[in-house]
Amino acid sequence: MRPGNVTDVLSELRRDGAKVIAGGQSLVPVLAMRLAQPTTLVDINAVEELHTLRTEPGGVRLGAAVRQRTAQRDPAIAEVPLLGMALPWIGHREIRSRGTVCGSLAHADPAAELPAVAICMEATLTIAGPKGERTVDAVDFFTAAMTTTVQPEELITSVFFPRATETQGFGFAEIARRHGDFALSGVAIRVDAKDRMRPSARITCFGISDIPRVRDVSEQLSAAVGRDGPDAPEARLRTVLAAAAKELAADVVDTGGDEHGSQAYRRQLITALASRELARAYAKAVRASSHTDEEKA
Ligand SMILES: Cc1cc2nc3c(=O)[nH]c(=O)nc-3n(C[C@H](O)[C@H](O)[C@H](O)COP(=O)(O)OP(=O)(O)OC[C@H]3O[C@@H](n4cnc5c(N)ncnc54)[C@H](O)[C@@H]3O)c2cc1C
């Protein structure tokens, strides 16, 4: 079915065994492997309002049919730098040209980039269903591997990412065996250096558990900054952060491991990526807040 508006999408979704298809980049492989047998596919691509990508007061909203590549190329994404940093890591250009941002959130692959970014940035999802519309914070949206709070009769209509502030800096990195593969492990980081000696820091790790794991690491970053001061070289801060990153890795990595990498290896990856990207994000946040101070002066 290819309805032209959200109301008709919702009435098609009432059919027993119906499923939304957006970009098809995850669902079609699932169908090919016979892992799901929906009775009806409800294609949302003819619904014009779902293709909207717009800035709103406080952030950027992406409709459910907005492709990952469209988002990557839209100037509005500069408002959410972490999203811009993560999008190029998703599969290949051909995948991103069809795959949607909301489809990736709905699919909830534990190794996917966008769920981690959405949690790190405190994004909210708008979901339409038979009982009306509801919003869910990204942190509450993912409940298990490939599982979210979206019900079979519901449709994610959009996701809203809050705009970055001028004292924030970001870090994103992942390790995959080949470019375009799903990540073995990765991190998405947001640091706020409004107070340079007591920065706030939030890290989301992915590819390491059934859902992305988020932690507030403000204390750890502040303690590390306190040792050498905010102007210490990034490499020095990274070294100082290594112990805290190792503790974080022991806490968040609970996957049993697979043929691509053991639990111990993934812990090493998170230790290395978290310390490097936290130091980098802090340095960026300090630079951004210095510019702001200069402008004010
Ligand atoms: C070769 C290859 C490599 C890939 N590499 C990566 C990668 O490195 N990182 C990564 O994150 N992803 C990767 N992907 C997946 C890709 O990002 C998908 O596009 C994405 O996961 C799903 O988006 P989609 O729009 O294609 O959704 P679809 O495939 O259409 O749907 C996926 C699931 O989400 C549901 N759904 C979709 N939209 C909605 C909605 N609006 N409301 C409710 N339910 C909805 C569908 O019913 C289905 O269950 C890869 C895919 C391929 C084929």
Q: Is residue 86 in contact with ligand 1, taking CB distance under 6 Å?
A: no
Q: Whose CA is nearest to atom 4 of ligand 1?
A: 91
Q: Please report the atom of ligand 1 found closest to the CA of residue 154.
A: 43
| Domain limits, the chain | 47-162, 168-296
pLDDT of 296 strictly over 70:
no
For ligand 1, the distance from its centroid to the CA atom of residue 105, given in whole angstroms, is 8
pLDDT of 297 strictly over 90:
no
pLDDT of 26 strictly over 80:
yes
Distance CA 189, CA 248 (A): 13
Give the DSSP H or E segment for 266: helix 263-296
**Which residue is listed with tokens 């993912």?**
142
94's CB contacts (< 8 A; 6+ apart) are: none
pLDDT band at 37, cuts 50/70/90? very high
Domain 168-296 carries which CATH code?
3.30.390.50
pLDDT, position 259: 87
For ligand 1, the distance from its centroid to the CA atom of residue 215, given in whole angstroms, is 26
260's CB contacts (< 8 A; 6+ apart) are: 177, 184
* Average pLDDT for 259-273: 95
To test ligand 1's pocket by mutation, which of 10, 26, 27, 83 has the most ligand atoms within 8 angstroms of CB?
A: 26
Mean pLDDT of the chain: 96
* Average pLDDT for 272-278: 98
Q: Which residues does residue 128 pair with via DSSP β-bridges, in sequence order?
A: 133, 155
For ligand 1, the distance from its centroid to the CA atom of residue 112, given in whole angstroms, is 9
pTM exceeds 0.85, yes or no: yes
Separation of first and last alpha carbons in the chain: 59
Q: Is residue 230 in contact with ligand 1, taking CB distance under 6 Å?
A: no
Residues 240-250 pLDDT 10s: 999 999 999 99
Q: Is residue 148 in contact with ligand 1, taking CB distance under 6 Å?
A: no
For ligand 1, the distance from its centroid to the CA atom of residue 22, given in whole angstroms, is 8
Domain 47-162 carries which CATH code?
3.30.465.10
Residues 75-110 pLDDT 10s: 999 999 999 999 999 999 999 999 999 999 999 999
